[in-house]
Structure 1
Amino acid sequence: MTASLHVAVIGAGTLGLCTALNLLEQGARVTVLEAQSIASGSSGRSVGVVGSQFTDPFEIMLRVQSFRRFRQWEGQGLQFNHIGYLRLARTPAQMELFAKSVEIQGGAGLKSRLIRANELRDLVPHLSPDGLEGGLFGPDNGFLDPYDMCNFLARIVREKAGDIHQYRKVLGVGRRPGGYRLETNGDPVECDAVVNAGGAWAPRVAELFGQRLHIWPERHEAVVIHLDRPLDYTMPMVMDLVDGEGSGLNFRHDKPGALIAEIHKVTSIAPEDPDNYNDQCEEQSKVHLAELLLERLPDLPGARLGRGWAGLYPVTADHRPLVGPIDASEPALVTAAGAGGYGIQLAPVIGQIAADWVLQGAPASVPGAGSLAPTAERNIRKVDH
């Protein structure tokens, strides 16, 4: 039955393309529909960090699954910059959590180690350790170019005979026995199953099917930091946030003489309109970012802020992705969205879970992934939570 199943995937970001690839590898026929161009949404505006330095065992397990895929794709030509990932700790309690993370990651085959406060400068010479207890460091973590990743995945999808239609917006939905008819601004698409991987637009896609999907498009900004001269070491990804505690400041090497920084923590009073939001970095945000950088990197050589941009994090009420059918009575309509700022690093495993839901009716290949299903308890408004 799988070989004859035709699945329409809505969205050509990392989640949609990873889902399409997993479906094709299991014998399904796949058509990807993208309203704009490949990686034109949140994926293309990401800073592309891939890290496993978390304290929750389930979050770590998901990234273990993703890293297996990234290693495979790296062998096929995807460029992955292994600069390392350092998550900072401000309290002894956070260091205890980090110690447990080292054990969990080690048991799963991932490298990580504790860094004490007096060792931080050995790893990042320009880092001020004031107010810090230490950190958790993963030397094999790093970053990739999300636009390149999407186009890499698109090439493989096409090689496996998957169809990708750019500038093909879904305008309406018709249900037929055993499947759907998707009306678009081009030819209609007849399919047996649908995966909604629309990112910040996923709630609007859900509405076309008569469903309610609660994802909050949260605006985040990133800025390039130019240096007078290249550092004599490679700056790892540095994150000041542990389970919601910390400034949210993060920064990393981008290329010689330049870093990229953002604040992974915002207080949004309303969701953004993905079709009409300010995609440029606001001046006040640059000022706030500069203040945080001066506190944590006080002696960077000739550091100055360059161009900035904004993108959207598709955020859920509990800050975990929604993967699975919203309505159990309609298992052929699967959601794969809401990964927030972790869409790039979770895309491989989310694509695997979404494909499982479509082809097997349950997330059979990823232990515990049923907890990501968009149940009535989880699929709620962020403000209610």
Structure 2
Amino acid sequence: MTGPSVVVVGAGAAGLSAALCLVERACPDVTVIDRGHVASGSSSLSAGVFTRQYTERMDIALRVESYERLCQLERDAGLVMRRNGFLRLAHDEATMDEFVRGAALQHELGATDAQAVDRREVQRLVPDLRCDDVSGGLFGPTDGYLDGQQLCMAYAEQAQARGARILARHELTGYDELPGGRHRLTTSRGRLECDVVLNAAGAWAPAVGALLGAPVQIVAERHQACVMRLDAPLAYELPSVMDYVAGSGEVGLYLRPEGERQLIAGLHSNERLEQAADPDDFHGGADAAFIDALIPLLVDRMPGLAGIGFEGGWAGLYPNSVDERFIIGPCPGRDGIHALCGLDGVGVYMSPAAGRIAADWILDGEPRSAHEAVAFSPDRFEARERV
């Protein structure tokens, strides 16, 4: 076998997906290092929702690709995918028109069960939902949720079976550029040499990038979620629900079931919700102010859930790029240094497509489509600065 030797920094969903893609394409020498262990960062704190319910072509295409890859891991590695469905709510006819177009586009791209549904069907799907201000929704019956840590373990097992090495408790502490375009990484447990370094360190990517001389423009944002208790199991299968109006500037409610007697709920926005967080020093629990904001929204939108109670909460980090798009590809001016970061709050379920794009760059010098290169390439920031 011929090909570059690669060290992936970060054993979260994105880094492990890239490693698996590389070894599946016969890359002969792939090593993943992590300062902790597999899924010790944000991947294990994700709500784990996977959905194709979007309305833009590339958003849908990458999510369809990721879904198909997750299904393969379900078959080959025992990944548990809970397909309870995913429902986006619309509150006006303009949004419903967009959902109708989105459902048609999903059908074109392979998600053939997507449905634009009216208010009556929304009420049937979620009998406990208040629907007086709902126009309808966009529904994917086979969308659902999974466990981020289990996904990472599936990636790791599959990659190791194909020859990849995964080295836990190997914190990157130093870097040297070697003659011939090679790289030497010094870790807390020894040194590694390679042709290509892939920075997939999630919230720690800026620190890794600085060490490699290849800065990445991402911010670690602290986001929270709560676990809510139900008095009794529901008499129907509750889909995951997203009640958010894009571009509104306001937060929206999301929720999904967790077993028979619990819900996971949180607040969603495409706006920056919180201050930048230090991944080495942030509060991992839910704040009182967040709980006080969430619970009234949940009770108002789901008035049929009598006796719902708060059980606890947690916080995780969304490593978000400054322009809120993924950063995938070669770092400008740094031969053999690549980035796979800035995956925001969708890194777990988008990791299959993101890992594939990173592997394409490393092995082929470009991703599958020019649009992927333009949208995600790290050199877009330099281009803006030149302008």
Given the two structures, how large is their TM-score scaled by the length of structure 1? 0.94
Aligned partner of residue 188 in structure 1, secondary structure: strand
Trace 1:184-223 onto structure 2 (pairs within 5 A).
184-223=187-226
Trace 1:154-303 onto structure 2 (pairs within 5 A).
154-176=156-178, 177-245=180-248, 247-265=251-269, 267-268=272-273, 270-303=275-308
- CA distance in structure 2 between the partners assigned to 1:380 and 1:201 by the alignment: 24
In the alignment, structure 1 segments of 5+ residues that lack a partner are none
* 1:38 alignment partner in structure 2: 38
* 1:358 alignment partner in structure 2: 362
Aligned partner of residue 236 in structure 2, secondary structure: coil
- CA distance in structure 1 between the partners assigned to 2:384 and 2:348 by the alignment: 24
- CA distance in structure 2 between the partners assigned to 1:354 and 1:213 by the alignment: 15
Which of 355, 376, 379 aligns to 1:375? It is 379
| C-alpha deviation, 1:345, in angstroms | 1.5
| C-alpha deviation, 1:90, in angstroms | 1.6
| C-alpha deviation, 1:367, in angstroms | 5.7
- Indicate conservation of the 8 Å contact 1:229/1:301, yes or no: no
Post-superposition CA distance 1:99-149 (Å, at most 9, x none): 111111001121210121232110001011132211100001000011111
Aligned residue pair count: 378
Aligned partner of residue 156 in structure 1, secondary structure: helix
Aligned partner of residue 217 in structure 1, secondary structure: strand
- Indicate conservation of the 8 Å contact 2:223/2:273, yes or no: no
* 2:342 alignment partner in structure 1: 338
Once structures 1 and 2 are overlaid, which stretch shifts more, 210-219 or 120-129? 210-219
Supply the RMSD in Å over aligned alpha carbons: 1.7
Once structures 1 and 2 are overlaid, which stretch shifts more, 109-118 or 221-230? 109-118
- CA distance in structure 1 between the partners assigned to 2:45 and 2:279 by the alignment: 13
* 1:69 alignment partner in structure 2: 69
Are residues 380 and 145 of structure 1, via their aligned partners in 2, closer, same or farther at CA, if it must alter by over 3 Å?
A: farther
- Indicate conservation of the 8 Å contact 1:325/1:333, yes or no: yes
Amino acid at match of 1:221: Q
Amino acid at match of 1:133: S
Aligned partner of residue 190 in structure 2, secondary structure: coil
Amino acid at match of 2:162: K
- CA distance in structure 1 between the partners assigned to 2:19 and 2:350 by the alignment: 15
- Indicate conservation of the 8 Å contact 2:214/2:334, yes or no: no
- CA distance in structure 1 between the partners assigned to 2:234 and 2:335 by the alignment: 53
Are residues 192 and 99 of structure 1, via their aligned partners in 2, closer, same or farther at CA, if it must alter by over 3 Å?
A: same
| C-alpha deviation, 1:337, in angstroms | 0.7
* 1:24 alignment partner in structure 2: 23
Which of 106, 129, 132 aligns to 1:130? It is 132
Verify: 1:148 aligned to 2:147, yes or no: no
| C-alpha deviation, 1:331, in angstroms | 4.1
Which of 299, 320, 324 aligns to 1:319? It is 324
Given the two structures, how large is their TM-score scaled by the length of structure 2? 0.94
Post-superposition CA distance 1:337-364 (Å, at most 9, x none): 111111112100000000011111110x
Post-superposition CA distance 1:41-66 (Å, at most 9, x none): 11010010000111211111111111
Aligned partner of residue 206 in structure 2, secondary structure: helix
- CA distance in structure 2 between the partners assigned to 1:148 and 1:180 by the alignment: 32
